[in-house]
Amino acid sequence: MLSRLALAASMLMSALLVDSVGALAQDMLRSVDLNSPEMSTSEMTRAEVEALLKAAPRDAASQRALDLQGKRLSHLDLSGLDFSGGNLRLVKFNRTSLKRARFDRATLNQAWLIDADLTGASLVKASLLGTQMQRARLDGADFSGARITADLSGASLIGAKFAGADLSADMRNQSMGMMRGVLKSADLTKADLSGANLSRADLEFAKLQDANLTNCNLSHADLSGADLSNADLTGADFTGADLASTLLPDAAKLERARNLDKARHLNQARRPALGSQ
């Protein structure tokens, strides 16, 4: 009886703490050993994962009722698998190959994908709250319509799609730190961020050359040191954005942006050299 009560209390505590874990997730790496068995091994084989996917029931909308919450799936080759609609909260995918995998409408909150390879993966309308994706390879990945307060620092996102995605700060959950999309030093060259909400997102030193930022909400975003050379800024809102040392595109492209005069540190932004764009 006592053991059952202890188990129930433990489960209740985990449920109460899950939001706190998400709020702290973006600053956890300093205290986490990524080489530990918990973070670098798998408790399943690819064949076992495939069998679980095949057996997962579907609802009336053909949505999988897949539940892999908390599983250790690091250092596996899971390329091409379809996890769409699944519960992948707290899963460890560190250094896992997930090339061309599908995560459409999946829940990846507080999951770990450090150094994972998601080249060409689809994460349309996925939930990525407090997800750790530092240095992940995401070239050509599709995040259209996704909700993202993940840490993508140093990630490669060349040609990735974020059309209509929401990477803005969660202003309702700030008691333990700002939860927002973090793209610090990420490579977003030729990425499609059209219509994306990047309000208060961290884009410090991000590479955004030739990126599509049309109608993008960049209000209060941190763009300090970012490279926006040749980016399409048509309709992009720069209200309160930090442009300290930001490399801006040419004057013709800047004229198409909105509220550039309301950006912070505009006088400290860098202008392209004549004939460079």
Q: What is the mean pLDDT of residues 50-55?
A: 94
Q: Is residue 164 part of a domain?
A: yes
Please write the tens of the pLDDT for every residue from 124-139: 999 999 999 999 999 9
Q: What is the residue-averaged pLDDT of the chain?
A: 89
Q: What is the CATH number of the domain that holds 145?
A: 2.160.20
Using DSSP's 3-state secondary structure scheme, residue 166 falls into strand
Q: Is residue 245 part of a domain?
A: no
* pLDDT tier for residue 274 given thresholds of 50, 70 and 90: low
Question: Which DSSP category does 127 fall into?
Answer: E
Q: Does the pLDDT of residue 214 top 80, yes or no?
A: yes
Q: Tell me how far apart the alpha carbons of residues 142 and 59 are, in angstroms, rounded to a whole number.
A: 24
Q: What are phi and psi of 212, to 5 degrees?
A: -95, 105
Range 54-74 average pLDDT: 85
Could you tell me if residue 247 is inside a domain?
Answer: no
Report in angstroms the alpha-carbon separations of 146 from 21, 91, 109, 150. Answer: 20, 18, 12, 11
In this prediction the pTM is 0.86
How many domains are contained in the chain?
1
How many Å apart are CA 82 and CA 94, to the nearest integer? 18
Q: What is the pLDDT of residue 16?
A: 36
pLDDT for 241 equals 98
Q: Tell me phi and psi for residue 232, to 5 degrees.
A: -85, 110
Domain for residue 3, yes or no? no
Q: Residue 122 belongs to what domain range? A: 21-202
Check residues 9 and 139 and name the one with the higher pLDDT. Answer: 139
In a domain, 128, yes or no: yes
Instruction: Name, in order, each residue with C-beta under 8 angstroms of 222's C-beta and a sequence gap of 6 or more.
Output: 200, 201, 202, 203, 204, 241, 242
| Within-domain flag for 9 | no
**258 lies in some domain:** no
